[in-house]
Structures are given as C-alpha cells and as structure tokens.
Amino acid sequence: NAGVTQTPKFRVLKTGQSMTLLCAQDMNHEYMYWYRQDPGMGLRLIHYSVGEGTTAKGEVPDGYNVSRLKKQNFLLGLESAAPSQTSVYFCASSYDENTEAFFGQGTRLTVV
C-alpha cells in the first residue's frame, strides 16, 4: 500500500522556470492538500481539493496553481519560480475534513 506518493523528491530550478509537482494517492480519498514547510513557520496550506474537478485556495496560494483532473492525482504548478518558493512541499490526503490526513514524503525544491 503506497499511500501518498510525491514526484519528484528533489528539484533545483532557476528563477523564472516552471515545474509541476505530482501527488498520487491510492486510498480513494476525496480531500487532497498541498502544503509548504519552512523553518519556524510550520506547515502552511497552499491549495486544496474536496473532490475530483474541484480546487480552492489556502493560506498562501500566490504563485501556485493546482489541478485535480483525476480523483487520485493532485498537481501543483509553479509558472514562474521565485527564490521565495524555495521550500519543502508536502502533499496530503484525507477521507474528509475531520479525519486523519496522510502525508507524502515531501519534495525539496530550491530556486536559485
């Protein structure tokens, strides 16, 4: 049982480049989330989805876009990367908003 899988695990981008982070879950969860984790800041919600075809903004959505075309996948896009987007990105999924969230192993992104 893979749970939540993030691709890639590491990436270095130049300022202005674009990339897509992929999250896949095999637990048939409706809810999926993208967080970023920075030192001293905790996990901050970027975007989330409550079901296939839906997306919504979280606490820090600027500079990111998301898509949920299939229930099992949640994509996070950076159209024009900035050094301020250097962070560790975590995807998570849950059955509903009040049940346990399962996290992926994280993607370490550095923007130079």
Partner 1 sequence: QKEVEQDPGPLSVPEGAIVSLNCTYSNSAFQYFMWYRQYSRKGPELLMYTYSSGNKEDGRFTAQVDKSSKYISLFIRDSQPSDSATYLCAMKKVTSYDKVIFGPGTSLSVIP
Q: Are 30 and 97 in contact (CB under 8 A)?
A: no
Which residue's CB is nearer to partner 1, number 77 or number 106? 106
Please state the closest distance from residue 16 (CB atom) to partner 1, in A: 28
Which residue's CB is nearer to partner 1, number 17 or number 102? 102
Please state the closest distance from residue 104 (CB atom) to partner 1, in A: 5
Q: What is the DSSP string of 17-84?
A: --EEEEEEESS--SEEEEEEEETTTEEEEEEEESSTT--EE-SS-TTEEEE-SSTTEEEEEESS--GG
Tell me the longest C-alpha to C-alpha distance in the chain: 38
Q: Are 105 and 91 in contact (CB under 8 A)?
A: no
Please state the closest distance from residue 51 (CB atom) to partner 1, in A: 13
| Contact set with partner 1 (CB under 8 A) | 4, 33, 40-45, 48, 58-59, 90, 92, 97-98, 100-106
Which residue's CB is nearer to partner 1, number 79 or number 97? 97
Please state the closest distance from residue 26 (CB atom) to partner 1, in A: 15
Which residue's CB is nearer to partner 1, number 22 or number 43? 43
